Amino acid sequence: MGTANDSSKDISDRLAEKHPKVVFVLGGPGSGKGTQCEKIVQHFGYTHLSAGDLLRAEKNSGSENGIMIQNMMNEGKIVPSEVTIKLLQKAMLDSGNDKFLIDGFPRNEENRAAFEALTKIEPEFVLYFNCPEKEMERRILNRNQGREDDNIETIRKRFKVFLESSLPVIEYYKGKGKVREIDAAKPVEEVFKEVKDIFNPKVPKVPKDENVEGRCMCCAIL
């Protein structure tokens, strides 16, 4: 009878056979990464996976794993990286796609190291939506009109956690030349223009004279 480790190895092997293209999407609360992920999905055919959404869905499913997640959250504990990674792997396999935006993960260095160790996958790059704290605050407060006093401290705490936990991940991938940083303070369409430049393959233009068939070299010179 197979063990849990055998099962994890099997799902990792099956996923590795697909040679998936993975892009980590990171940015603070209110940076607009969710909006941009929707546009990337529409224009470039990626599957968008949110680690937070997958955990919430599993928690609400009533499964044994979901009950464990619920209990950990109730106790204020952090769900182990392995649990989140298994949910991501299953969603990747179930999608039938081979191109993925993984949104809001890895949240910290431990997440990052565990993902690479368990999946044997390194991201193609990290798409980092860099947005000033004041602008992110303004966006979230506008989104949650009428509840400014209730949310301002929570927003600032979330931003502090992002700086402390996620910036080391960004710095790690910067050292590997894998960070594509976007100025996320701009309007949505201007931000997406920058995003498109990153995702569109750069195809060199062929001069017209070099792209004509049936011409001899002397004619080409002339």
**Residue 5 CB: number of other CB atoms within 10 A?**
8
If phi > 0 it is left, if psi is from -120 to 50 it is alpha, else beta; for residue 131 that is beta
Binding site residue list for ATP = 30-35, 143, 186
State both tokens at 157: 């705490």
State both tokens at 198: 């990153």
Residues listed for the chain: 222
Tell me the torsion sign for CA atoms 182, 187, 193, 196.
positive
Binding site residue list = 30-35, 56, 77-79, 104-107, 111, 143, 147, 158, 186
Binding site residue list for CMP = 111
Binding site residue list for a ribonucleoside 5'-phosphate = 56, 77-79, 104-107, 147, 158
